[in-house]
Structure 1
Amino acid sequence: MNTIKLIAICALLAGGNASFGHENMPHHNRNAPVVKEQKPWGIAGDTQAVARTITIRMTDDMRFTPRHIEVREGETVRLRAENKGQVLHEIVIGTKAELDAHAEMMVKHPGMEHDEPYMAHVGAGKKGDIVWQFNRAGSFDFACLIAGHYQAGMTGTITVRPRKP
């Protein structure tokens, strides 16, 4: 079952009394093993396999810098999200369709709490990392899905170039 759907179902079953706030959640429990689920855009990577770190800055003008990154198929990258703003931001990797659906859910449930290896929630002035193996070539997206941020254009793209022969 899709993680987002599971969260929505759990929230409904809780009768709406559950508190789901990004601001109160820790970013990835480093003591817990990372669940490695293959996604169209890759799979959670191992820190020992990181080939390079790409820093992506997030600001309150609802922009990422850079807005486009390129990696090579099979490369494990640390995406370091630096929040240069005064409000909470996040970076979530996915396909355009997945991000559109997730953003719509965040508008309906703005305090929804969730954490996956392909996302980092970053408080004002802080940094967060995603370690990801891009094991499939193609064009993918990243975005801040906090209600209103995605709609304001806080998005970016990832091009995964095929392996060299």
Structure 2
Amino acid sequence: MRTVIWVAVAIVLVLAALTYGRALLAPTEPAAVRELTVHGFEYDFDPKELTVHRGETVRLLVRNTGTIEHDLTIPDWDAATPLLSPGEEAILEFQPTRSGTFRFLCTVPGHNELGMNGTIRVE
């Protein structure tokens, strides 16, 4: 009788190990990345409003389609592109951790004041 119990316990342990091992080895789907593009030009961004979701990875392609240098800075997240010459582009990748509305702007002197700014709404 003891042998039957030990065999039953062994079978249960083997089945549990196989099930747990399969769960560990199962491929996980890569997290979705939201890709957005913002064009910067004299003295505006297009689009001026972006909506993303909290926790998702966002890849923001910033293109300078203007005739002078621009950048894009998100002050609340300490995120910024380098200064971009006409025709250049850069990628900002971030993952918002809290909901709210956050400003982005061009930090070239005078550009923000002329309207080169926008908002990112995190839902």
TM-score, length basis structure 1: 0.53
Alignment of 1:116-127 (within 5 A): 118-121=79-82, 122-127=84-89
Moved over 3 A (4+): none
- Kindly, what percent of the aligned residue pairs are identical? 33
What's 1:19 paired with? none
Higher relative contact order (CA 8 A, sep 6+): 1
Letter matched to residue 119 of structure 1: A
Residues 1:128 and 1:91: Cα distance change in structure 2 (over 3 Å): same
C-alpha displacement of 1:119: 0.3
What's 1:158 paired with? 120
Residues 1:87 and 1:142: Cα distance change in structure 2 (over 3 Å): same
Give the Cα–Cα distance (whole angstroms) in 1 for the partners of residues 69 and 100 of structure 2: 29
Q: Which of 37, 40, 43 pairs up with 1:58?
A: 40
What's 1:75 paired with? 56
TM-score, length basis structure 2: 0.70
Structure 2 residues not aligned, in runs of 5+: 1-29
Give the Cα–Cα distance (whole angstroms) in 1 for the partners of residues 94 and 71 of structure 2: 16
Give the Cα–Cα distance (whole angstroms) in 1 for the partners of residues 68 and 32 of structure 2: 29
Secondary structure at the residue paired with 2:72? strand
What's 1:136 paired with? 98
Letter matched to residue 68 of structure 2: V
Give the Cα–Cα distance (whole angstroms) in 1 for the partners of residues 31 and 105 of structure 2: 24
RMSD: 1.8
> How many residue pairs were aligned?
93
Secondary structure at the residue paired with 1:134? coil
